[in-house]
Amino acid sequence: MGFAIYYLQKLQTIYYFGSTLVQEPIVVVDSDLERCLGLCALLGQENYRTTPLHSLQDLEENILRGGFRVVILDLDGLPADNRFFRDLKRINPSAIFMALSSRPFHPELKESLCVHIYACIRKPYDPMELYYWLKTIFINEDEWKNSNHA
């Protein structure tokens, strides 16, 4: 019971002070410009900074530069495969990938879903579910940095 209360308090802290904890922008990759900008605007309402990209090539170019922690990819319009995720994690091991998809299953991405993708959210996504996953990422990262690992 104590852990649940602690965790809820941490979620509330990040909810109220999200803009001070999230230093690096979240990269949103979607081949559809309108959907990409819509998701960026939604994340902006919760004080998350975003960088919109529209192709996997754009992502590959930006991952070399770094400066971000979380990548949200729309799997429906992007030809991502297991090799793509393996290569990106090799280049930037600290990147955290989230996926959006209208399909409930992706057998062709079994390896990536088990190893490289933090969460896959079914579309149409619930903004609260998306915020929840982002907050858990930043809570876990904050706790890791504050432990003896930093």
CA-to-CA separations, 58 to 14, 54, 73, 91, in angstroms, rounded: 30, 7, 12, 15
Contacts of 141 (CB under 8 A, 6+ apart): 69
pLDDT at 13 over 50: no
* Total domain count, the chain: 1
Residue 118 lies in a domain: yes
Residue 132 lies in a domain: yes
Sequence length of the chain is: 150
Q: What is the CATH number of the domain that holds 49?
A: 3.40.50.2300
Residue-number span of the structural domain to which 45 is assigned:
22-136
- The model's pLDDT over 72-110, given as tens digits with 9 standing for 90+, comes to 999 998 999 999 999 999 988 989 999 999 998 888 999
26 phi and psi, to 5 degrees? -90, 130
72 phi and psi, to 5 degrees? -110, 120
Residue 48 lies in a domain: yes
**How much is the pTM?**
0.79
Residue 107 lies in a domain: yes
Residue 144 lies in a domain: no
For the chain, how big is the Rg over CA atoms in Å?
15
Residue 13 lies in a domain: no
